[in-house]
Amino acid sequence: ALPSEYKDHVRIAVIGGTGIQDLPGFTKVASLDIDTPWGKPSSPITILHHQCSVSGKDVPVAFLSRHGTHHQIAPHEVPNRANIAALRSVGVRTVIAFSAVGSLQEAIKPRDFVVPDQIIDRTKGVRPFTFFEGGVVAHVPFGDPFDENVAKVVRACGHSLEGEGVVLHDRGTLVCMEGPQFSTRAESNMYRSFGGSVINMSALPESKLAREAELAYQMICMSTDYDCWHESTADVTVEMVMGNMKANAVNARRFVGAVLDALALDSNAETVNAKHLEGGVKFGISTPQT
Ligand code: ADE
């Protein structure tokens, strides 16, 4: 169970993707086995204790491993509704989501980080993608799929680590494909012609469900390969993705630490509490309310 001093204080969550199954270096204070109306999340939600290295303030952080504790859940099998509902149920309002991505642009090199600001949906509709169905109709705005307030904090943190080897691209269009197979070369080139910057299999419906749950959500992408369009590098393989993730783990950890430090500052409390998103769903429901 969640120790009483943490109840109603967990506002920030980190969702770890491929290569980030846990967050070493943080003290674990609880592991919550949560059940939701949409089933169980990908992994227990661990509550970690983070001490802000700037203010000294103690901040609890929820951590969820998207592909399971042992990377046993394929992208199309991730229980996204349970994940988002479970995080929301412990009080989370802001989600920092990590993802390994393929690069669709020469300038985004393997091991670079990207803070995407747009998404192109290339999933195939096989993943449950909304909380609203069975009699409740809602349409939430999604023109900007990520939270710009959180993005600003994340970008500043990434740039503060430039001297330590973090290369950050401030914006980008993320193509989210169905998978689990990688793209064909023709598809990869089509995504480039769409203006895609990077490609993954995990941004959707996670980000849509976060919006429906009124959570501030920002993905941090870590480039691991040039997919299969690049003429002078080998086509993407799992080995390539894992190898670059592993090589970049220290930077990813530094990046998370810096983001959590920044989000713990009082000056960012409003961003973290996602006050600006409150009521978004209430006004999006088009079913007559009695
Ligand atoms: N994740 C990491 N690399 C990828 C790629 N090339 N395509 C889709 N998802 C990825």
Q: Tell me the ipTM for this assembly.
A: 0.99
With a 6 Å cutoff on the Cβ, whether 241 touches ligand 1 is: yes
Q: What is the pLDDT of residue 196?
A: 98
Q: pLDDT per residue over 98-125, tens digit each? A: 999 999 999 999 999 999 999 999 999 9
Distances (CA, A) of 157 to 21, 49, 60, 286, 290: 22, 20, 19, 39, 46
Mutation probe of ligand 1 site: the residue of 183, 224, 237, 238 with most atoms within 8 A of C-beta: 224
With a 6 Å cutoff on the Cβ, whether 110 touches ligand 1 is: no
With a 6 Å cutoff on the Cβ, whether 100 touches ligand 1 is: yes
Q: What is the pLDDT of residue 164?
A: 92
Of 94, 246, 113, give the one whose Cα is nearest residue 174. Answer: 113
Look at ligand 1, atom 5, and give the residue with the nearest C-alpha.
102
Of 123, 179, 124, 118, give the one whose Cα is nearest residue 146. Answer: 118
- For 88, the 3-state DSSP assignment is helix
Q: How many helices (H) and strands (E) does the chain have?
A: 7, 11
Phi/psi at 51 (5° precision):
-100, 120
Q: 182 CA to middle of ligand 1, Å?
A: 7
Q: What is the pLDDT of residue 288?
A: 66
- Distance linking the first and last C-alpha atoms of the chain: 37
Q: What is the pLDDT of residue 210?
A: 98
Instruction: Kindly give the pairing relationship between strand 216-225 and strand 173-177.
Output: unpaired
Atom of ligand 1 nearest to the CA of 177: 8
Give the burial string for 39-76 (b: 16+ CB within 10 Å, else e): eebbbbbbbbebebeeeeeebbbbbbbbbbeeeebebe
With a 6 Å cutoff on the Cβ, whether 200 touches ligand 1 is: yes
Q: What is the pLDDT of residue 290?
A: 58
Q: What is the pLDDT of residue 276?
A: 84
Mutation probe of ligand 1 site: the residue of 225, 237, 245, 246 with most atoms within 8 A of C-beta: 225
With a 6 Å cutoff on the Cβ, whether 201 touches ligand 1 is: yes
Q: 99 CA to middle of ligand 1, Å?
A: 9
pTM assigned to the model: 0.95
Phi/psi at 106 (5° precision):
-50, -40
Q: pLDDT per residue over 54-90, tens digit each? A: 888 888 999 999 999 998 999 999 999 999 999 999 9
Residue 289, pLDDT > 70, answer no
Of 15, 21, 124, give the one whose Cα is nearest residue 72. Answer: 21
Q: 125 CA to middle of ligand 1, Å?
A: 19
Mutation probe of ligand 1 site: the residue of 104, 202, 222, 236 with most atoms within 8 A of C-beta: 236
Helix axes 238-247, 249-263, angle to 10 degrees: 60
**Cα separation, 120 vs 104, whole angstroms:** 13
Higher pLDDT, 14 or 266: 14
Tokens 């349970």 belong to residue: 82
Residue 283, pLDDT > 90, answer no
Residue 219, pLDDT > 70, answer yes
Percent of the chain with pLDDT over 70: 97
Q: Which residues contact 112 (CB under 8 A, 6 or more apart)?
A: 103, 167, 168, 169, 222, 223
Residue 18, pLDDT > 90, answer no
With a 6 Å cutoff on the Cβ, whether 212 touches ligand 1 is: no
Mean of the pLDDT values across residues 254-279? 91
Residue 285, pLDDT > 90, answer no
CB 98, CB 20: distance < 8 Å: yes
* Residue 204 CB-half CA count within 13 A: 21
Q: 206 CA to middle of ligand 1, Å?
A: 17
Look at ligand 1, atom 3, and give the residue with the nearest C-alpha.
102
Mean of the pLDDT values across residues 8-20? 90
Cis previous bond, 116, omega within 30: no
The average confidence (pLDDT) of the chain is 93
Q: What is the pLDDT of residue 80?
A: 98
Q: 180 CA to middle of ligand 1, Å?
A: 9
Q: 75 CA to middle of ligand 1, Å?
A: 11
Q: pLDDT per residue over 142-191, tens digit each? A: 999 999 999 999 999 999 999 998 999 999 999 999 999 999 999 999 99
- Asked which of 20-24, 103-107, 198-202, 225-229 is least confident by mean pLDDT, the reply is 20-24
